[in-house]
Amino acid sequence: MYKFNLSLSNPIVTLLPIKSEPLVSVLITNYNYENFIGQAIDSVLKQTYQKFEVIICDDGSTDNSIKTIKYFLELDNRIRLVTKQNGGQASALNAAFSASKGDIICILDADDLFHHEKLISVVNTFKNTNCGVVLHYLKVVDREGNVIWHNTGEAKKGWMAKEILSGTQSSLQFGSAISLRREVAERCFPLPEIFKSDADRVLGTRALLISELETIPIDLATFRIHGSNITSYSMLKLGDELQNTLNRIKKVCDDYLDFFESNYGIKLSSETRYYIYTKSVSITALEHNLINYKQLPIEYLQLTDNKRIKIIYKALFLLPRKVSVKIYMWWRSSSKLKEIIRKLYKIFINLYVRHRRHLQP
């Protein structure tokens, strides 16, 4: 089985001391989100940390987005607009970053919202750690604002290259949860413009390969799921679109492996690359087969490292399928009982970890 020897190298980005009051650049890419873009901009203007600029790249919208954006341009001179022909998420992010000047780069999707304490929390985390990447949890809502999940994310920290290059599954959230030091962002941009979507994951994974991560374990942004956003819609409806999803994951995987090779001068074999890809899609394959009443894909289950996830999926596939699908969909839906169970589970895990550490000599 493939193993990556992390001792070959260390993160390659050297971070300079950060300013006492760094400028934060909030990058917003917009395409036909007239119903959401105003709320996104307003959520930045209401931040408790006010030393920021907002760079909006409108990616050729055909609705009334520009009219809304221009209203805010007249309201606050910290907001700037870049317009271009439609080219997709990556090209829009490239244009927005090129126009930015900030010491810290924050990504905000045009249909999402920052919570008021987002920027100050990110600034303080960068000031108090040596990380080049900050993530945080997200509150997930539907189109009407009804809460689907709280605290989505995983509280990881440190250099993530070993986990990424071993194909280990994780629930890291990117999108409106990702912030970068400029030194890191400059190594990651420009992003390949073939990524009409998933550009946030490309950016986030590249950054984690070259710098350390710190996670703020609270909701600092609201992530909206609706029928228009390509990435998140598939979270609610897996359907029979497995191959399309796997193709998207493979494109992202190929990009970050190429990025790793070019930055560290290490050539990965085709067998290694295939192993990393198949491990990275294992949970997606399990979810798809469960929802679509197909058999348990043993080969993907065996590639899953997390023992708890293995047990859960084995149990779900053993149950009558209608029952298991209802359980699965309930877990992905909004429920006060589910939130209580999740909180109790986190408390139990923390107590268990502390107990294990106490027993160690």
How many CB atoms lie under 10 A from the CB of residue 30? 28
The two structure tokens encoding residue 190: 């420009």
Name the residue ranges covered by the structural domains of the chain. Answer: 22-233, 238-318
Question: pLDDT digits over 67-115, tens only?
Answer: 999 999 999 999 999 999 999 999 999 999 999 999 999 999 999 999 9
Structure tokens that stand for 170 in this block: 């994780």
136-150, 218-232, 292-306: least confident range: 218-232
Indicate if the alpha-carbon torsion angle 262, 268, 271, 275 is positive or negative.
negative
Span 157-172, pLDDT tens digits: 999 988 888 876 556 7
C-alpha distances out from residue 227 to 33, 74, 235, 335, Å: 12, 31, 11, 21
pLDDT for res 7: 54
At 124, list the tokens. Answer: 């303080």
Of the candidates 33, 228, 211, which has an alpha carbon nearest to the alpha carbon of residue 134?
211
Mean pLDDT, to the nearest integer, of 142-147?
81
Least confident of 40-54, 72-86, 140-154, 260-274: 140-154
The three-state secondary structure class of 335 is coil
Task: Give the residue-averaged pLDDT of 205-209.
Answer: 96
pLDDT of residue 241: 67
- Give the pLDDT of residue 236: 44
What top-level class would CATH report for the domain 22-233? Answer: alpha beta
